[in-house]
Amino acid sequence: MPELPEVETTRRGLEPYALKQRIVALEVHEPRLRWRVARDLARKVAGQRILGVGRRAKYLLLHLKSGTLLLHLGMSGNLRVVPARTPRLAHDHFDLKLGSGLALRFNDPRRFGSLLYTRGDPLRHRLLADLAPEPFA
């Protein structure tokens, strides 16, 4: 399982590629992750700009104007920045395609990762609300 330093490293690695980018499309290839990816999620995020790339505990937070994507890598997941036309590999479950021509591609052989969306304050989301203080704060 990616530990907190690896999740923070992932956040820092994504930020220069994702920040201020417009989401062109969310393509879900396998919705059955830890929690099923919502069927209407692609519609909710298409056209939105990524305003911030954050982290709370082991959750990556992609802040949009209308809400926040909460992404968890699970036990074996990783999020890579690839050219959007790069052929998919086994266990590539979704692509968040960006206006730059790049995609944030989620690969998770064990499918314990997750992609969720919240309109409200992400820190009040049921998965984040009762977490302990950040160790690096």
Tell me which DSSP letter residue 41 carries: H
E strand or H helix that includes residue 18: helix 4-18
Q: Are the C-beta atoms of 116 and 60 separated by less than 8 Å? A: no
Q: Which residues are catalytic?
A: 2-3
SS3 33: coil
Spatial separation of the C-alpha atoms in residues 57 and 113, rounded to whole Å: 14
